[in-house]
A and B are shown apart, each in its own frame.
Chain A
């Protein structure tokens, strides 16, 4: 059970504070903030505070969402998963109601947030975190904040990036907001979001790869109709008795093999074993229908090669090549390639390819990292960056050991690496002229995309 819940800004200001049981002394927000800000472990100051810690018998839990700290305290030996999950869920519920989760929107709507908090937790016990159920208890109306300048929350927010924005403003619409025209737009969003992790060895060979995917849904359909989501028919779950890293047997068969997956409460799996369809009545608000994990071999979207070579006295040259190995009809955006350089690097001059548009390269002075940003990369293309480095001292010998590995972040809309697909989305509603908007969107992001040197 939880004693207190509060939300702090990055500066440590109280935005919302609720004491449920009065067991934890006052001043806990300050104790917490000081501890997180100046976290030390084994005398190492760079360490980051873990999400759970104990100070004078009080357990502090926190998650960071949209630059805010969501915190719970308790004196009881509770389940850490439960509390952290709850904090994350509270953030999501608040986002569902406010449309946008940010310091500004919380400050403007704190009365509404208190209303929510009173119903979500009573005397430290969780009552409900369902956006749907909470609707009947909420009477305040959200005060909208300008979404455009705010960093949006949640995985679906990536659809807001770049120039090719999806139609509709669903991601920043409150579940209880009144439409200007008085009628609600009937629409449903299904997003297949995949985060991929790949580690390439120095010779370009794939050491590990994993896809962590989510099918995220947000429904604005009136009357809560039942929905059927059909996935690939050739979809296998679990790898039987075989080792998880035994690639040979599954490659090339065309089937999608997931290591494991889990489902939202509302999902019924009656016919899943037969025809790979999920049946559900989507609750209001944004929620993950299914999470899945795959270590089956897949083709990485980018090949990265990097080379650093000494070029005379106190000088070296770096060449980084990024080749996009996906169809030319697809464009990746917001690509950033980073490479730590030797600590004694003093200067770097960059040479981009002639005709390169929307690219910048920079040497981060403090961290000694090379940072190469590309607005977009079209499928099939190859981009190269050359850099000339100057050093303040001789290298200790093996210069490649002093630099790297190269890491990369990117977003590729309308691309998915696993091959998992939503074949169709059936909405069970009788009327013949009922034809709501159905948005099925795919996006792939880099999680940990690393090439060793």
Chain B
């Protein structure tokens, strides 16, 4: 069934496109149809071949259907096969003609030769014509009972084909039950495998409208059936093994002994040369040991070597598929792979898609002990002549710098990049230096010294330019030339095509103005004038906003534009742990390669056997699938740029004003609401004169800004500030771990748990769901009676300030030991109260 569109563009002389050839063929076929002359089969073969080759390149040869069928009365199997292929392709479009073929196909289904029986049965089922299904039932039934296993394998798949043509006919003929019997009794493993595949498909599709089908589908996961498959796993072909292992991964064993039995039985599958078998086995191992923390870790250790061997033994395409899975595991447990980092070094001849994955893994496994070597290696790539690779490598260095405490050495390297004087290297580095400064403001002295040497003329990429301008604004007090560089950039306002850069320019010049008023005054005036005249709506609005703000109150303006900034502790680029868990559940599927759960790229009906059922998968996820979609899109958007772009920060500043604005005193500065642009300049002169007096007052008020909107007058007694939590807080395990190590314990407390709570703690999930209801998310849990251990986290509703909790519940003493760590230490007592009240309600309602 070649695409018809190709017919027109076939240009090579061997691919005719005219109708002449087809009608020629038709005539020749007709001549041969009745002939019994010797050698006629050879001529037929040649003609058939021509027909098939036209069909392949997309020429419509359906007009010779009748002739093909007439010629098919032959005992030559090669001819028959070509005829079957042809009929299979055109029958759907020509149902009337298809009827012509039924006769000879039915006859062939009863042939002596099992090969012919099988072929005919397969072709019969491939016609895909709904009104011919009545002719299928009989041959399929006898096909299932055929003494030859080839015919039976064909018949089993034939039944699946029938189901897709007419589900009712298939069910009415009771075929699924017959398949089930065959699956349990047939001596041939390929027949069994086909039965399994067919039944999985049929019952999954039927399950939505039939109780019985969904029961049957679950029965596939019953212990006897799983053991039936497992005990003969080695008799199956490698492909069928993958199918069986996929099923086993969904099986829930009753106890640990069973888990170890299954793992011992499948141990040698890890040495299979077929990557699909190995990955399916690994999935079984990972799923089985999910609740056993220690064993789960041992599994990781065990599967490393086989995975690495697969990565290096196959074609680049195969390595990519395996490497994607290794990537998932590395991201899940970077610590377990931190000594294997050399395996993730890139080889120069690898395709870019492989290198990119490796860079991400190197970033993930970097820790105190290997960072030096990894970064040294990355710096080699950064100097590479391969530009995309160089860019990615610089980003990787930056990401490592952002996740380490001791970034000293890395900062030096980044600064060396700037000295390389390659435009794309400089551009990438500037963006990174900006992010570094947002997280580690203490490095500003070193960075600024180098950044100051970069000529803005050599920076063309909008992102890089924006980063440079941001630094000029933010550190204008330390950068000697800042006002003058900004001024020259503003002079070229007209030539600046990127609105992002123009927005940053406005903000930077504002910041600079507050720090060095006399030097910046002219530039600010020019910038505001240019901004007000800008055709871009956002640029115009921001210029107007700044202008009005300056008119309204200079002190307020400074607080808005130049608030003291808290260092960013976590950038909002992390995928939610729920999404990650979902992908992990879909191990050995496309979800891993795309790094998205299947519902994001597949229609419901095509999710395939991997998504066996929502109910069995994960209750909490299934329940609010609609909710999870939203954060994911956010994540996607943020992924494009590792960081919250600074423009977003400015937006937040804006919001801060609108919400807190009313807290400030009445305007000091009365001015007409709208002022012609030409007048701005002179207004600013007045502003400047009043400014110096305002600054100390401004900085006083700023402290309050941080205090969650407290009143300006210092609060006499620290009444606990109210705390509301973000119900959809997101934190990935890596960041959690890192924060957990990084932050000091701010509170340790012991709470008692209600007896009802202890009773409800038969499954840890109950507590997780309960706490989720109080906007406290669980990131990890484990343990066995009487001691259960949980790690929770929560985030403040309005900002990305996190609370991390380790909670050990002892069911026999009904006590919970709680350790709390917090980004904002001052809030931990409040949070603790909140946590306790949430915990005390557990099991009570």
Q: Taking the complex as formed, is B317 at the interface, i.e. its CB lies under 8 A from any CB of chain A? A: yes
Q: Give the interface residue-count category, chain A.
A: 35 or more
Tell me the complex Cα distance, A259–B308, Å.
9
**What's the least CB distance linking B350 to chain A, in Å?**
7
Report the bound CA distance from A223 to B237 in whole Å: 22
Give the contacting residue for A128; candidates B56, B237, B318, B594; CB below 8 A: B237
Q: Are B606 and A77 in contact (CB under 8 A)?
A: yes
Picked from A80, A123, A243, A450, the residue with its CB within 8 Å of the CB of B590 is A80
A263–B318 CA distance with the chains assembled, in angstroms: 17
A225 contacts the other chain (Cβ, under 8 Å)?
no
Size category of the binding interface on chain B: 35 or more
A210 CA to B238 CA, complexed, in Å: 28
A63:B279 contact, CB within 8 angstroms: no
Contact in complex: A293, B309 (CB < 8 Å): yes
A13 contact from B57, B78, B602, Cβ within 8 A: B57
B residues less than 8 Å from A205 (CB atoms): none
Chain A positions within 8 Å of B238 at CB level: 265
Which residues in chain A, 403-453, are within 8 Å of chain B measured between CB atoms?
405, 407, 447-448, 450, 452
Of B92, B279, B349, B606, the residue contacting A448 (CB under 8 A) is B349
The reply to whether B308 and A293 form a contact with Cβ atoms under 8 Å apart is: yes
B324 at the interface (CB under 8 A from A): yes
Flag whether B272 is at the interface (Cβ < 8 A). Answer: yes
Q: Interface-forming stretch among A52-60, A170-178, A227-235, A321-329? A: A52-60
Contact status A51-B321, CB under 8 Å? yes
Contacts of B349 in A (CB 8 A): 407, 447-448
User: Which residues of chain A are within 8 angstroms of B353 by Cβ–Cβ distance?
Assistant: 47-51
Query: Would you call the interface of chain B mostly helix, strand, loop, or mixed?
Result: helix
State whether the Cβ of B352 lies closer than 8 Å to any Cβ in chain A: yes
Contact indicator B309/A260 (Cβ below 8 Å): yes
A29 and chain B: residue at smallest CB distance:
B3
Distance in Å: Cβ of B22 to nearest Cβ of chain A = 18
Contact of A57 with B603 in the complex, beta carbons under 8 Å: yes
Secondary structure dominating the interface of A: mixed
Taking the complex as formed, is B224 at the interface, i.e. its CB lies under 8 A from any CB of chain A?
Answer: no
B328: which A residues are within 8 A, CB to CB? none
B92 to chain A: which residues have CB within 8 Å? 22
- Hey, what's the 0/1 contact readout for B84-95 against A, CB within 8 Å counting as 1? 010001001000
- A65 surroundings in chain B (CB, below 8 A): 315
* The one of B56, B153, B348, B611 that contacts A450, using a Cβ cutoff of 8 Å: B348
Min CB distance A399 to B, Å, is: 12
Decide if B122 touches A14 in the complex (CB within 8 Å): no
- How many angstroms between the C-alpha atoms of A238 and B2 in the bound complex? 50
Cross-chain contact of B78 among A129, A140, A448 (Cβ < 8 A): A140
Measured CB to CB, the nearest residue on chain B to A120 is B239
Q: Mark A99-122, 1 if CB is under 8 A from B, else 0.
A: 000000000001100110010001
Contacts of B649 in A (CB 8 A): none
A224 to B386, CA, bound (A): 50
Residue of B nearest to A114 (CB): B85
Determine whether B256 belongs to the interface, using a CB cutoff of 8 Å to chain A.
Answer: no
Q: Are B380 and A15 in contact (CB under 8 A)?
A: no
CB closest residue in chain B, given A61: B317
Which residue of B57, B161, B239, B278 contacts A14 across the interface (Cβ within 8 Å)?
A: B57
Knowing A88-B315, A243-B339, say if A259 contacts B309 (CB, 8 Å): yes
Interface residues of A in 248-264 (CB under 8 A from B): 259-264
B6 A51 Cβ-Cβ under 8 A: no
Q: Give Cα distance in the complex from A392 to B17, angstroms.
A: 53
Cβ–Cβ contact B342 & A78, under 8 A? no
**Please, how many angstroms separate the alpha-carbon atoms of A127 and B238 in the complex?**
10
A122 contacts B157, C-beta separation under 8 Å: yes
Q: Is B263 an interface residue (CB 8 A)?
A: no
| A76 pairs with B383, CB closer than 8 A | no
Q: A86-B239, A110-B52 are in contact. Are A78 and B590 (CB under 8 A)?
A: yes
Partner of A76, one of B246, B310, B608: B608
Known: A14-B58, A50-B353, A288-B273. A75 touches B309 (CB 8 A): no
A88 touching B317 by the CB < 8 A rule?
yes
Chain A proximity of B691: nearest CB distance (Å): 43
State whether the Cβ of A292 lies closer than 8 Å to any Cβ in chain B.
Answer: yes
A311 at the A/B interface (Cβ < 8 Å)?
A: no
| Complex contact B347–A214 (CB within 8 A) | no
Counting CB contacts under 8 A, is A298 at the interface? no
A15–chain B nearest beta-carbon distance, Å: 7
Check A199–B313 contact: CB distance below 8 A: no
Smallest Cβ distance from A37 to chain B, in angstroms? 14
Contact A262 B272 (CB under 8 A): yes
Residues of A within 8 A of B590 (CB): 52, 54, 59, 77-78, 80
Nearest neighbor of A31 in chain B, beta-carbon distance: B3
Q: Are B115 and A17 in contact (CB under 8 A)?
A: no
Q: Nearest Cβ distance between residue B215 and chain A, in whole angstroms?
A: 24
A125 sits at the interface (CB 8 A)? yes
Residues A111 and B3 in contact in the complex (CB < 8 Å), given A82-B239, A260-B309: no
- Cα distance A301–B80 in the bound complex, in angstroms: 56
Check A447 against B347 for contact (C-beta < 8 Å). Answer: yes
Find out whether the CB atom of A62 lies under 8 angstroms from the CB atom of B317: yes
Distance in Å: Cβ of A130 to nearest Cβ of chain B: 8
Interface residue A346 (Cβ < 8 Å from any Cβ of B): no
On chain B, the residues within 8 Å of A87 by CB distance are 317
Q: For the complex, what is the distance from the CA of A51 to the CA of B353, rounded to whole Å?
A: 9
B1 contacts the other chain (CB 8 A): yes
Given contacts A48-B353, A52-B593, A212-B313, contact A80 B324 (CB under 8 A): yes
Instruction: Please state if B601 and A75 are interface contacts (CB–CB under 8 Å).
Output: no
Q: Are A47 and B388 in contact (CB under 8 A)?
A: yes
Q: Does A371 contact B (CB under 8 A)?
A: no
CB distance from A195 to the nearest CB of B (A): 8
| Residues in B whose Cβ lies below 8 Å from that of A340 | 385
State whether A199 touches B345 (Cβ < 8 A): yes
Query: Which residue, A62, A82, A88, A245, has most C-beta atoms of chain B within 10 A?
Result: A82
Enumerate chain A residues within 8 angstroms of B246, measured Cβ to Cβ.
Answer: 79
CA gap between A140 and B78 in the complex, in Å: 6
**Any B CB within 8 A of the CB of A46:** yes
CB-CB < 8 A to B606: which residues of A?
A: 23, 57, 75-77
9 shortest interchain CB distances as A-B pairs: A448-B347, A82-B276, A51-B317, A76-B608, A260-B305, A291-B313, A126-B239, A75-B606, A50-B353
Q: What are 18 A-B pairs with beta-carbon distances under 8 A?
A: A17-B3, A28-B3, A48-B353, A54-B601, A57-B601, A57-B603, A59-B590, A77-B610, A80-B593, A81-B318, A81-B322, A84-B317, A136-B115, A238-B305, A288-B313, A291-B313, A405-B348, A448-B349
Q: A245-B342, A262-B278 are in contact. List 17 more A-B contacts (CB 8 A).
A: A16-B56, A47-B353, A62-B317, A79-B280, A81-B318, A86-B276, A114-B52, A115-B81, A125-B197, A126-B239, A136-B115, A208-B342, A210-B312, A260-B309, A261-B271, A265-B273, A407-B348
